[in-house]
């Protein structure tokens, strides 16, 4: 049986580690990247089933990465996470849906373990 794959993109190492631990408990093979410039290569090489994406990161934000995903006919589930204004994450969710991403969830930091587990399931 092929293991499910979880790609975590967050510039906060502690939060990425938290998501990775929860993902592994749910049976995911995980890949954590803290540099959003490595996202495209990581996505293509790792072919994730689920992507956990922080919205606000240095140099490249989550909106830019979502726009790119919509050009790739991506089928991965996307979990958008933000510690800032919840409207920013909701805007990204609308952009995702308009671009053809069909399975998008938004979460607000701090994220509870059970909420994260539900989003990754």
CATH number belonging to the domain at 4-120, selected among 3.40.50.2300, 3.30.1390.20, 3.40.50.2000, 3.40.50.170: 3.40.50.2300
Q: 47: pLDDT confidence band, cut at 50, 70 and 90?
A: very high
Of 105, 45, 35, nearest in space to 65 by CA: 35
pLDDT score, position 100: 87
Q: Is the pLDDT of residue 33 over 90?
A: yes
Of 3, 5, 1, 2, nearest in space to 76 by CA: 5
Question: Taking the model in full, what pTM does it have?
Answer: 0.92
Distance from C-alpha of 80 to C-alpha of 90, rounded to nearest angstrom: 9
High-pLDDT (> 70) share of the chain, %: 98
Name the residue ranges covered by the structural domains of the chain.
4-120
Distance from C-alpha of 107 to C-alpha of 121, rounded to nearest angstrom: 14
> What mean pLDDT do residues 1-11 have?
89
Distance from C-alpha of 79 to C-alpha of 107, rounded to nearest angstrom: 7
pLDDT score, position 72: 92
Q: What share of the chain is helix, strand, coil (3-state, %, to 5)?
A: 45, 25, 30
């Amino acid at each position: 049986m092929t293991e499910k794959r979880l790609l975590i993109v967050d510039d906060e190492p502690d939060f990425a580690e938290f998501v990775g631990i929860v993902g592994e408990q749910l049976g995911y093979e995980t890949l954590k990247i803290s540099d959003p410039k490595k996202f495209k290569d990581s996505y293509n090489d790792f072919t994730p089933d689920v992507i956990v994406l922080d919205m606000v990161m240095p140099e490249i934000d989550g909106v830019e990465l979502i726009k790119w995903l919509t050009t790739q006919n991506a089928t991965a589930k996307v979990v958008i996470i933000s510690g800032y204004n919840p409207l920013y994450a909701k805007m990204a969710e609308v952009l995702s849906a308009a671009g053809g991403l069909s399975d998008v969830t938004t979460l607000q930091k701090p994220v509870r373990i059970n909420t994260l587990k539900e989003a990754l399931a």
